Amino acid sequence: MMNPYADLHCHSSCSDGSFTPIELIDHALSVGLKGLSITDHDTSAAYQEALPYAESKGFKLISGIEFSTLHKGESVHILGYGYKLNHRAILDLCAFHHNRRQARNSAILEKLTHAGMPVNEEELALESKEITGRPHIANVMIQKGYVDSVNEAFKKYIGEGKPCYVEGKGISTEESISAIKEAGGFAVIAHPHLIKSAALLKDLLKQDFDGIEVFYARFPKSQEERYLRIAQEKGWLITGGSDFHGTVKPTIPLGCSWVDESLFAPLYARFKENNS
């Protein structure tokens, strides 16, 4: 029997979500979830306060992260779960991304300035705590009256292929999977539903993943079945989550995609093995 148990994909204010880590856990409890993974982009900073708080509430929080990789020239997201928090392999990869993002954000700001929409580093720095990305740039663009919404900022200027987009340097899927595994975690393909190129997905499926995100955001059942079959064929873990970002993506509520207790159990066991 499938019952909502845990949401394995959400973002806190340590990356581009609007809820603090503590608010996320309170919110998860209030919607009846028993478990959660806070999969911030390129950082595990949320766990410093979230983990002791979750423990005090008897709530099952497991380590999680969403890394961006460059796969055959395309930007892809991969998820890591259950790894040892503060493991050197994860911290090193996070440091790489921190530097990558700094250089890339500066390049995007330069393009915006040339396009007549100046945003400076100080204004951007006020928007974020740990990881700074395009949603933060979009927020400053709204404040300065250049656009009316985050979506408009992406659609017109900073989305992939738009005039102020910068790809920046990247790191391979293989290296990212290795780091997650070295830290004892499971590597999972994030939201295959969003991968437009069939060839890219085909190649990704050949990589050494442990799982695939079958249940995602508000995608319909008809789209889940394909990934469920792939997971079953490969003997991979089946994961799922909302990709909740709070007010940044107002139409996606926490818990709108989830896993049941049986799918959560192996991830929780791995997390406990690595972190106690």
Binding site residues, Fe ion, CB under 5 A: 16, 77, 190
Q: Which is nearer to ligand AMP, 150 or 179 (CB)?
A: 150
Maximum alpha-carbon separation in the chain: 56
Alpha carbon of residue 200 to chain centroid: 19
Judged by CB under 6 A, the chain residues 41 through 100 that form the site for ligand AMP are 41
Binding string, residues 134-163; x marks residues near ligand AMP by CB under 6 A: xx--------------xx--x---------
Rounded distance, CA 51 to CA 53, Å? 5
Rounded distance, CA 223 to CA 180, Å? 27
For tokens 């393009």, what's the residue? 111
Q: Which stretch binds Zn ion (CB under 5 A): 59-67, 155-163, 176-184, 262-270?
A: 59-67
Written as one string, the DSSP assignment of 30-50 is HTT-SEEE---BT--TTHHHH
- Residue 223: which residues within 8 A CB-CB, separation 6 or more? 193
- Main-chain dihedrals φ then ψ at residue 76, nearest 5 degrees: -130, 150
Q: Which is nearer to ligand AMP, 41 or 60 (CB)?
A: 41
User: Minimum CB separation from Fe ion for residue 210, in Å?
Assistant: 18
Give the strand order in the sheet containing 35-37.
6-7, 35-37, 60-62
Q: Which is nearer to Zn ion, 65 or 179 (CB)?
A: 65
In the complex, residue closest to ligand AMP by CB = 133
CA dihedral of 157, 158, 159, 163, whole degrees rounded to 10: 50
User: Minimum CB separation from ligand AMP for residue 133, in Å?
Assistant: 3
Structure tokens at 20: 């603090």
> Rule CB under 6 A: is residue 16 a binding residue for ligand AMP?
yes
Q: Which is nearer to Zn ion, 140 or 190 (CB)?
A: 190
> Rule CB under 6 A: is residue 40 a binding residue for ligand AMP?
no
Q: Which stretch binds ligand AMP (CB under 6 A): 92-100, 130-138, 175-183, 188-196?
A: 130-138
CA dihedral of 157, 158, 159, 165, whole degrees rounded to 10: 110
> Rule CB under 5 A: is residue 7 a binding residue for Zn ion?
no
Q: Which of 243, 256, 264, 270 binds Zn ion (CB under 5 A)?
A: 243
In the complex, residue closest to Fe ion by CB = 77
- Main-chain dihedrals φ then ψ at residue 112, nearest 5 degrees: -65, -40
Instruction: Report the DSSP pairing between strands 74-81 and 64-71.
Output: antiparallel
> CA 152 → CA 104, 114, 145, 148, 203, distances in Å?
20, 19, 12, 7, 32
User: Minimum CB separation from ligand AMP for residue 95, in Å?
Assistant: 16
> Rule CB under 6 A: is residue 213 a binding residue for ligand AMP?
no
Binding residues for ligand AMP, how many (CB under 6 A)? 11
> Rule CB under 5 A: is residue 210 a binding residue for Zn ion?
no
Q: Which is nearer to Zn ion, 210 or 243 (CB)?
A: 243
| Contacts to Zn ion by CB under 5 A | 66, 243
**Binding footprint of ligand AMP on the chain (CB under 6 A):** 16, 41, 133-135, 150-151, 154, 245, 248-249
